Chains A and B, each alone.
Chain A
């Protein structure tokens, strides 16, 4: 009589499909890790999760001072709203890349002792970031009302843009988290990537100020287009959908290849730690 095999372990590679199913089965765990991280960060503080607003708000104050008083930028929308849209996306992106990229390294002890699909770790970081991002989003909505910009019906596209936002951040975060295990050097590279990336991204300046000869960058730059989409939704700035399509294709390719790379390396993560 053939008996049911509960689980099998063999050498060799796992298909991406069966791996993603395993991740889906562990969705409970993604949630548990995210709740754990939020509790640890914000429990026992008076402001709680609103502490996540401190950094973007500080950024907003500085940018607002510089680009309204020191080097005034003239836009036909309130600068504060314009800048904050960029800042909130940028902070979420840095969380996806920074936190996601180091998620495996940060949980070494766990990885060596308990088996679970390791993709759960960067994904739970994405979820934590999403909670913080949502708080920023609420603040943005308040700002839109206060500055009299109002809320456009285009807000129905918001969920799609948020998904695009997460995907483009994760595409880099997943690559990094798998790579940092093998190549520890990258661990030191991540802060630079984040520190300099802000200058290449239209966070506090509009793309219209960038010389025509450099605008090709935005065909390759998913985060710039994520920001452009948010600005299109909330403050009605024009958007180049060819750029959006082009850069998101790149992000999608990065994400799929990143997942393949992650799955290939995940079985050896514990050996390399």
Chain B
């Protein structure tokens, strides 16, 4: 049975704009005598935000800078006061807006553990119980009696993170803190967070790291202009990218791809000319280009010189992670090395791409000189979607990932 751990009802918060704020005696006195001063213009950081968080849920909050994520977290943490609305916690919450916020460099690791823990409202007894666990997880060892100013930045972060996660709470409010430290420490943080989720803790994470959000969170809230504009699963991330990068991922009504006009490209075409290019043989369903069918990206080019030319397509996901590169020189195909016109076709197999937004970069390389002849970033943006009949099954299966190849599976009864 679902059990609500956090209730947020109709939360609103506005800030007075800096120019209109009375920050000095002069302003205050001036304001006092001049009652005709125009009403200050307010900036609505949060507008009527409501949501519930249930036990065991990991809720991700995404949105552009200034969408209201941090304001929301600050209000949930009690640092800032809402203008309107109500928040009810049905369990102990800790908020981690900054790692090591309560640390003082002159104090030893041990002293900082006690200070931080009392800042997070844990009793001395509780800290003593968990002290060894904290020290062990942080891996600080004998340096625990040294002032933290002598710590390396990695040690500092490890200790700070250990304190927070080793203290028991029911609800964790986290703002972008997993992206600190080296790879090993990030891994440790991520594992710890997964452990918390597995232990039935409730999490709320605001982050710009879409990969992290999609891996950790089972529900995502998308915020824009201080409001929740959509709630859902990992597919919300794709929606977010169309808001965050409208210049690339904004499609015409009923269209699921966008092809850039390369004549406007700042990169000059050397010794060659692109005549025609585009996507063909695709099948579109209601939500995008079908992932269940192959399609092709083609280029018609005119080559002016005798140059061995290679064409490359680089596939990126919406957040900018490179997924794979395909090249015309990799396979035994017709060598493009004489002047003339060529038709190059890249056939993207069915069941390779996942239900995501992708962008494709084109590179034309002079293979003799190993020099770049032409380059176009995000020359194709494309939205992939499963055929409707399959959507439900995929959601149930949680086929997460940058690609979704149909890996042959065999099952035999023993």
Question: Which A residues are within 8 Å of any B CB, using their own CB?
Answer: 3-11, 25-26, 28-29, 32-33, 36, 39-40, 43, 109-116, 182-186, 267-268, 270-272
Contact = CB atoms under 8 A, between A and B. Distances in A.
Nearest to A266: B81
Given A7-B89, A270-B79, A114 B101 contact: yes
Given A8-B86, A9-B75, A270-B74, 5 more contacts: A33-B115, A110-B101, A110-B119, A111-B79, A114-B101
Interface of B: 4, 15, 21-26, 28, 74-93, 95, 97-98, 101-102, 104, 106-107, 111, 114-115, 118-121, 123-124, 170
Contacts of B97: 112-114
Contacts of A116: 119, 121
Given A113-B98, A267-B81, A182 B89 contact: no
A6 B170 CA distance: 11
Contacts of A109: 101
Nearest to A267: B81
Given A28-B124, A113-B79, A114-B101, A36 B107 contact: yes
Contacts of A184: 23-24
A185 B24 contact: yes
Nearest to B77: A115
B187 to A, nearest CB: 25
A84 B84 CA distance: 54
Nearest to B23: A184
A29 B79 contact: no
A8 B23 contact: no
A36 B28 CA distance: 36
B118 A11 contact: no
Contacts of B121: 25-26, 116
Given A115-B95, A183-B28, A185-B25, A39 B88 contact: no
A11 B85 contact: yes
Nearest to B116: A114
A28 B84 contact: no
Given A39-B107, A115-B79, A271-B15, A28 B123 contact: yes
A183 B25 contact: yes
A272 B79 CA distance: 12
A112 B79 contact: yes
Nearest to A31: B118
Nearest to B122: A28
A182 B101 contact: no
A63 to B, nearest CB: 34
Nearest to A116: B119
A17 B269 CA distance: 75
A115 B80 CA distance: 9
Contacts of B102: 110, 113-114
B59 to A, nearest CB: 17
B125 to A, nearest CB: 11
Given A11-B83, A29-B118, A40 B91 contact: no
A5 B91 CA distance: 7
Contacts of B4: 3
A5 B89 contact: yes
Contacts of B86: 8-10
A28 B90 contact: no
A247 to B, nearest CB: 27
Contacts of B15: 271
Nearest to B5: A6
Given A32-B115, A184-B24, A271 B80 contact: yes
Contact of B87 (A8, A28, A114): A8
Contacts of B84: 11
B90 A39 contact: no
A7 B173 CA distance: 14
Nearest to A30: B118
Given A28-B123, A40-B104, A183 B24 contact: yes
B168 to A, nearest CB: 13
A272 B15 CA distance: 10
Nearest to A189: B25
A8 B88 contact: yes
Contacts of A32: 114-115, 118-119
5 contacts: A110-B101, A114-B97, A182-B28, A186-B25, A270-B74
A116 B22 CA distance: 25
Contacts of A25: 121
B79 A36 contact: no
Contact of A10 (B76, B85, B107): B85
Nearest to B74: A270
A113 B83 CA distance: 20
B218 to A, nearest CB: 22
Contacts of B78: 9, 115
Given A36-B104, A110-B101, A113-B101, A7 B123 contact: no
Contacts of A114: 77, 79, 95, 97, 101-102, 119-120
Contacts of A182: 22-23, 28
A111 B83 CA distance: 19
Contacts of B89: 5-8
A260 to B, nearest CB: 16
A270 to B, nearest CB: 5
Nearest to A3: B90
B82 A6 contact: no
